Amino acid sequence: MADQKLTEQIGYLIARANRLIEDDLARRLQPGGIAIEQFRVLKALEQDGPTPMGQLAEKVLVEPATLTKIIDRMVRESLVFRVPDEKDRRKVRIALAAAGVAMCRKLRDVSGDHEKHIAETFRDDQLQEMRRILSELGN
């Protein structure tokens, strides 16, 4: 197979699409003063409830050390709090604080509008196929 141009490589195309999608989401989150990583933390905790740091880092796609800094900031902003794990006191779970729950409610339309914006680019069958293909990449 001959060398492909950079702009035709699958990895490049995925990275480019990711940048466009994240730029749109960041723009939508800006009025709320929330960064994408914080938004993902809030959504993960809203969905899963109190979550161990390692599991949360994996789910929101950041390194554990980076997540610690994000959580420190979110604790200072009273969006989340740390709670000892019931089974192992050495472990810490992250939980939504009342302000975090309120922020999730406030951002619910942002998330839906962002997904709708992306989905409008594709037919339903294309969107389902893209979700299937991208989900299989990590398996």
Percent of the residues in the chain that have a pLDDT greater than 90, as a whole number: 59
Are 99 and 77 spatial neighbours (Cβ–Cβ below 8 Å)?
yes
Provide the edge-to-edge strand list for the sheet that holds 80-84.
51-52, 92-96, 80-84
Residue 47: per-residue pLDDT: 96
For the chain, which residues make up each domain, given as ranges? 7-138
pLDDT tens figures, 89-117: 888 999 999 999 999 998 988 988 998 98
Residue 45, pLDDT above cutoff 90: yes
Residue 57: per-residue pLDDT: 96
Are 84 and 91 spatial neighbours (Cβ–Cβ below 8 Å)?
yes
Which residue matches tokens 């993960």?
A: 44
Q: Just give the CATH number of 7-138.
A: 1.10.10.10
